[in-house]
Amino acid sequence: MKQQTQPAPLVPVVVDTREQLPFFIHPIYDAKITKTVKGLKTGDYSLVGFEDKIAIERKSIKDLYGSLTHGRKRFEAEFERFRDYEFSAVVVEASTHQILHPAQHDRYWRSKTNPASIFQSILSWTVRYPTKWILTKDRLEAEATTYHLLRHYWNAKQPVQQTFEI
């Protein structure tokens, strides 16, 4: 007799209503997730039933620079809220090189902020807060990373799957 395992359930992703460029609009995710759009206390992504346990914040490079300069106080308050979560992460749609040399990657880059100060803030906050920073090469990689973080958390919280014989 063959053993079969039940198919993995769809990952019940929550997208914050304030997320302006949401992930998971590509049809490839239709077979992997269910998507609920609702207001989250903090972060851009979570899981149904775990909204107070897992939070993932997405940042484009432009958002990152803004959040660590003129929006720093609000962003740091978010990191304080993240302390109450079992898992929190900031997934950045940029690599270390892109953060340190933004004009090489965007010919329209106009920020006067010293890129080294942005990178040093990331390093400092990595030590100061339990929130993980994940730098990716681009938006597609950031989206996949966010999906897999949510999926791994979801799977870790599920009861052990039963196998049965047919």
Q: What is the pLDDT of residues 122-140, one digit of tens each?
A: 999 999 999 999 999 999 9
Whether residue 165 has pLDDT greater than 90: no
Least confident of 4-8, 32-36, 43-47, 112-116: 4-8
Whether residue 141 has pLDDT greater than 90: yes
pLDDT of 71 reads: 97
Whether residue 107 has pLDDT greater than 60: yes
Backbone angles phi, psi at 113, to 5 degrees: -70, 140
Whether residue 20 has pLDDT greater than 80: yes
Q: Going by DSSP bridges, is the β-strand pair 132-135/87-92 parallel, antiparallel, or unpaired?
A: parallel
DSSP character for 162?
A: P
Helix (H) or strand (E) holding 164: strand 163-165
Average predicted confidence (pLDDT) for the chain:
93
Give Cα 150 to chain centroid, integer Å: 8
Q: Mean pLDDT over residues 16-26, rounded?
A: 94
DSSP letter for each residue of 52-71: TTEEEEEE-HHHHHHHTTTT
Q: Indicate if the alpha-carbon torsion angle 40, 46, 48, 52 is positive or negative.
A: negative
Rounded Cα gap, residues 122 and 23, in angstroms: 23
pLDDT of 2 reads: 61
The overall pTM is greater than 0.85? yes
| Partners of 27 in beta bridges | none
Whether residue 5 has pLDDT greater than 90: no
